[in-house]
Structure 1
């Protein structure tokens, strides 16, 4: 099994390419939770993700013959970019197979780092199958995204940085997809002289590792569904599962709504952009998915910042809805002069701001002498939403909440 010496050896290789990323105290999230929260900003890493660490270590350990033959991998995006940049810097030819619906930003970035990109299949599993075919056909080395000890060791260098920058750390919270990141970090932390708790977090829609731990053996999910595409993996690795079972203290899950709230909070309060997988550790902390003591020093590992802009828009909106900052309602008015103005006056009296109004007299769901009105509103929180709805209903409006 992976041990601390593997991670020390990886550090010497990885530091030539990867950055030592910041570890910053968050006054905002410390105040919100009562803990001493330090954010490990791995979203500031080269390629925008921790994956460059494991990819660099794996490719650096290839023999000269293996380097000459080149490498191939499959990835939804972050590992793809890591392999592309690591291979280019070491002078190794790389082919990356990505699912056909991989985020455009990650696709473009991977190509820009020098790899040949082939789009294949609906998901990671289909892409991996094609990558293994190329491995056999061309004699290339397959660089696994997580279930490889050299990759795990490279990711574990994050754990060494956390201990170096925050010796008083009590708990580190780490996202889990296939398990490479948490396996490396847990190995680094459990080898320290003092006990440091390691909490793993998965999205509810892709919680195969949590399911596997509960049932005592690896469980494979036929489908996964989460906004955290970086950890949307159907099963943990064989090697990573053994490390998780032995060295991780607890694995919890969070919903997509909780992930969206954490991502929006990081943007608004910390001016920090992360992807869904990067927000998962903070989501677990903010939603009280695990227990902790007042003043406990907790480090959420924000593992990546490569979020597609279209996805970002959707996630921000979801976060605003979940925190009562955005409301979409429907009501029906009498089709007569001044009816819409009266409705707007009620909304203004209740201090809500209108983003957009749709006024429709032609809907088949209403009477001939009526008009359907759909309004997008900026609100100030859940209490304000309830006050607004109550105020409208007191004035006789039948209001349906759409979002």
Structure 2
């Protein structure tokens, strides 16, 4: 079992002209935000919206004619599914994909639109994999792992070649880790091209499978995460064996870090990013002192996020920054009360988004009312200014 730099170069030649070469750009805004000197590889600009195309196409091109006829089956939360479905359709290879329940609609619909058969089965990736292997045995399909496959790893390694060809000055790469195929390929390529480069991984705190395996401990992986693309309970044996000695450090980041990463990609970089795709930026935000002043490349792995979830994340970041705040005010239930409060808020430039009256809470007087007034503010200082003005007018704020 091995994947060499030569294998990755061969994959680069094999897939050339069939997969977009995505851009690498220096980001002044993210550099100012994090204190590092940041380059971004925009793999969300692939046709199917993620880095998975390189590995999927390389693996399909390695199939024998007989295997192509039988077709392939895979388990995927979405990005591997779409890549395999799209290139399988192009090459005339039948594709069946098993997806876990709760997979974002954008990824389910994208996979079906490319002609694949989609089976929704299991609460997580592990259960979906078991079903995919059952279908393999029943129908004679070729099972194509999303990461635990040498052909997949070699294809994903092309990302590392492109990154360093376009930004040879980089001192470090940060790559999200799910099953490990991407970081294994990138680490092999990057270390071959520039032996002194640092390669860092990043995992979701709820799915730290690579970190656990490094420590020789069973992984404790559970719960929902916005980074569902890397929500893998067990890192692949092949990528782990290939990458473990090449990875300098793996960072574990929280849900809020991923959310902030998605939000900053939208607001600062003007690009749509899914949860897992924000992993590199999340690590920079979580551990700024570790990267300050370094020339760092972050791999934006994909942009397949549901519109509703993107809206939720952006609004949550506004709440986090107190640019969206709820003033809970206990007052008299009499005509003109709301108008008077609104005049204070509007007079200071606050934008009222929503108002809720609560007259039935037992800790509110029978002749009183509780008002939840949601206000858009400029920043935290502006939120405090409005709150202080309401208090100065005699309104009792119960929460600000």
Q: TM-score, normalised by structure 1?
A: 0.94
Q: Relative to structure 1, is the Cα distance of residues 374 and 391 closer, same or farther in structure 2, using a 3 angstrom cutoff?
A: same
Other structure's SS at 1:266 match: helix
Unpaired runs of at least 5, structure 2: none
Considering only aligned residues, what root-mean-square deviation do their CA atoms show, in Å? 1.8
Query: Contact conserved, 1:261 with 1:322, CA < 8 A, in 2?
Result: no
Shift of 1:394: 4.2
Mapping of residues 66-77 of structure 1, within 5 Å:
66-77=67-78
Alpha-carbon distance between aligned partners in 2 of 1:182 and 1:318, rounded to the nearest angstrom? 30
State the shift of 1:89 in Å.
1.7
Q: CA deviation at 1:52?
A: 1.1
Cα distance change of structure 1 residues 169 and 70 upon mapping to structure 2, 3 Å threshold: same
Equivalence for 1:267 = 266
The aligned runs of 1:94-243 (5 Å cut-off) are 94-213=95-214, 215-216=215-216, 219-243=218-242
8 Å contact from structure 2 (residues 35, 288) kept in 1:
no
Offset of residue 293 of structure 1? 4.0
* C-alpha displacement of 1:289: 5.3
- Match of 2:273, SS? coil
Partner residue in 2 for 1:283: 282
> What is the CA–CA distance in structure 1 between the aligned matches of 2:391 and 2:238, rounded to whole Å?
58
Runs ≥4 residues deviating over 4 A: none
The reply on whether 1:382 has 2:386 as its aligned counterpart is no
Paired with 1:220 and 1:139, the residues of 2 have a C-alpha distance of 32
Distance in 2 separating the partners of 1:195 and 1:53: 25
CA distance in 2, matches of 1:153, 1:401: 54
Task: For 1:399 and 1:256, locate their aligned partners in 2 and report how far apart those are by CA, in whole Å.
Answer: 30
Once the 2 structures are TM-superposed, how far is the Cα of residue 111 of structure 1 from its aligned partner?
0.9
Matching of residues 299-310 of structure 1 within 5 Å? 299-310=297-308
Segments of structure 1 that go 5 or more residues without pairing to the other structure are none
Provide the aligned length of Structure 1 versus Structure 2. 399
Q: Which residue pairs with 2:334 in the alignment?
A: 336
Provide the rounded CA distance (Å) in 2 between the counterparts of 1:36 and 1:120. 43
Matched, 1:21 2:25: no
Partner of 2:313: 315
Stretch deviating more after TM superposition (323-332 or 64-73): 323-332
1:248 counterpart SS class: coil
Further displaced range: 142-151 or 242-251: 242-251
CA, structure 1 residues 28+224, in 2 after alignment: closer, same or farther (shift >3 Å)?
same
